Amino acid sequence: MLAFILLLIILASSNCVRAFPVNQRYLPMGLLSMLVSQSVKHEGARNKAAQELMDSEIGWVDPRILGGRLLDASGLCFFTTADEGEPLNLIISGNSDPYVLSEAGFSDYIKSLGFSTECLGVHIGNIHQADLGDGNGRHDEQVLARQYYFMGPLAYLWYLLGKSGWYSCSIFWSDFSFFSQSVPCYVGGNHFRAWKQDGHEAASGAWFLGASKEENSRKNHKIIPNGYNIGRDFLVAQAVSSPTHWNSMWWQAELDWVEGLLEPGSEGVNHGIEQDGLVAVLTVSRL
């Protein structure tokens, strides 16, 4: 379409126009004007639809409206194809606690759910990309988090000892993170990737997560059977079962299930694993 419009501009500004009869000389410009007008109307309709969704107070925008999708894609297709991806099956609504919607706050909140970033900052697995239909296009994951294997009293004691000043809190937490995150790096488990919907066309502030449960490193961290549903449901259970807390902050999440954003089944899904098509939407409030 762009190439055709450029061709019309060239024709309209060249001597070629003189070859047209007088009553047709402005045909190229007329056609150009019509195409540009239709393009502007289409873009306006897309933006209006996205704005209406944001104004509806649901706290997120359906990526498909502006050309995105709720399947991510692998930047390096060792185990996926260009047309396959993993489902973005959980949304943290833009109506959540503003701190949770920030990068620092999101990091704290997921710790309250028993997740954190990878050990020593070493990435295990492919870099995935997603297009949330917000004008940012397809871009790399912003967060990759894995489940702790040593949460509970031990983790809390480790944190309190560091915070007491007996030993550097940051060093304590770094040491603990090394051990707790090294385990899932090798044995697999629950994990998720996350992207924030904050582009100029749909700045809802919502986090879109692709949650799943995977095999160990010897099996290339492939998703287990029914792993997309299992990973999502585990994360939901962590969020809604009771108030969660981290660093003296407490949160409670409300859950809504949304149908129709993902097609149930395995078509287009990485590893050919079926999923139920449901997307969990969490609205997280500070207590």
pLDDT digits (tens, 9 = 90+) for 89-118: 999 999 999 999 999 999 999 999 999 876
Considering the domain architecture, whether residues 150 and 23 belong to the same structural domain is answered as: no
Considering the domain architecture, whether residues 129 and 244 belong to the same structural domain is answered as: yes
Considering the domain architecture, whether residues 148 and 47 belong to the same structural domain is answered as: no
Task: Report the chain's terminal Cα–Cα distance, integer Å.
Answer: 52
The confidence band for 138, taking pLDDT boundaries of 50, 70 and 90, is very high
Considering the domain architecture, whether residues 153 and 30 belong to the same structural domain is answered as: no
Quote the number of domains for the chain: 2
Considering the domain architecture, whether residues 79 and 99 belong to the same structural domain is answered as: yes
pLDDT digits (tens, 9 = 90+) for 189-212: 899 999 999 999 999 999 999 999
pLDDT digits (tens, 9 = 90+) for 2-19: 454 555 444 445 554 454
Question: Residue holding tokens 């924030």?
Answer: 196
Considering the domain architecture, whether residues 107 and 237 belong to the same structural domain is answered as: yes
> In which domain, by residue range, is 28 found?
2-51
Which pLDDT score, from 0 to 100, does residue 136 have? 96
Considering the domain architecture, whether residues 135 and 269 belong to the same structural domain is answered as: yes
Considering the domain architecture, whether residues 205 and 90 belong to the same structural domain is answered as: yes
Considering the domain architecture, whether residues 65 and 36 belong to the same structural domain is answered as: no
Considering the domain architecture, whether residues 139 and 38 belong to the same structural domain is answered as: no
DSSP string, 36-75: HHHHHHHHHHHHHHHHHHHHTTSS---GGGGT--SB-EES
Q: Where is pLDDT greater, at 124 or 162?
A: 124
Which pLDDT score, from 0 to 100, does residue 272 have? 92
Which pLDDT score, from 0 to 100, does residue 215 have? 75
Considering the domain architecture, whether residues 221 and 242 belong to the same structural domain is answered as: yes
Considering the domain architecture, whether residues 11 and 86 belong to the same structural domain is answered as: no
Counting Cβ atoms within 10 Å, is residue 240 exposed (0-12), middle (13-18) or buried (19+)?
Answer: middle
